[in-house]
Amino acid sequence: MATETEIVEEETHGEPEHSIEETIEEPGEESVEEPVEEEPKEETRSALPGDLIGTSEEFIPRDGAYLDGGNIYAAASGIVNINKKERSISVTPVTNMPPHLQVGDIVIGQVTDVKDSVALVEIAGIKGKGEREIVNAEQAAIHVSNVKDAYVKELYYEFAPFDIVKARVLDLRNMRLSTVNKELGVMKAYCGNCRAVLKVDNNKLKCPKCERTETRKLSSDYGTGII
């Protein structure tokens, strides 16, 4: 019964009302619309010397860019300019790009490996010079003699892979780092058992999850987030 009444209602409402008036096209309107022309846009991104920024099939290399074997590379640190109209690519040098390391710089890095006499560190940034701006990670090493003033029995007691460390650059030739200083050393460490972030507990590190204790050459800024 209910379905029958619904059908009847639909039929009565189906009459068109003002549809004819609304669909009338005004003949003059089409010519008013301007043809949509794409403006040549210029994209920007940053590059370091040697970065692949394009190919010769795409662009003509201009200032700050060079062609090598069909690829176009940045010749300078700076902003990549793509001129679509001209199909050219160039690099405008920027002076505040990632600086080069200098002896005495304090760097932040991650321990990648610990051997008998050295801990290997991948440098991620330089303190006070834009920690997050360094693109090319550099490999460095902390020798067992440069860990702390006190005698180091086992380097494995001082560093572990994945540790975040703060260290001073000793020399650039061999990329030696030192953590001999109160505020230098491990800034953040992970539990070797469950990977949780370790907390300082009486000059040792304790895992809040599995209660495991570990030792490190700790920075006085451990766990503070201060770099």
| Burial of 224 from C-beta contacts in 10 A (0-12 / 13-18 / 19+) | exposed
Question: Measured from the CB atom, is 107 or 191 closer to Zn ion?
Answer: 191
Question: Measured from the CB atom, is 52 or 210 closer to Zn ion?
Answer: 210
Question: Measured from the CB atom, is 164 or 207 closer to Zn ion?
Answer: 207
* Beta carbon of residue 194, minimum distance to Zn ion (angstroms, whole number): 3
* Beta carbon of residue 155, minimum distance to Zn ion (angstroms, whole number): 21
* Beta carbon of residue 42, minimum distance to Zn ion (angstroms, whole number): 51
Residues that bind Zn ion (CB under 5 A): 191, 193-194, 196, 207, 209-210, 212
Question: Measured from the CB atom, is 49 or 192 closer to Zn ion?
Answer: 192
Within 8 A by CB and 6+ apart from 103, the residues are 169, 170, 171, 172
* Beta carbon of residue 197, minimum distance to Zn ion (angstroms, whole number): 9
* Beta carbon of residue 108, minimum distance to Zn ion (angstroms, whole number): 24
Q: Using the CB atoms, write b or e for 83-119: b if 16+ within 10 Å.
A: beeeebbbbeeeeebbeebeeebbbbbbbeebeeebb
Question: Measured from the CB atom, is 94 or 210 closer to Zn ion?
Answer: 210
- In SS3 terms, 106-121 reads as EEEEEEEEECCCEEEE
Yes or no: say if 56 and 70 are a contact pair by the CB < 8 Å rule: yes
DSSP result, 61-79: E-TTEEEETTEEEESSSEE
Neighbours of 138 (CB within 10 A): 16
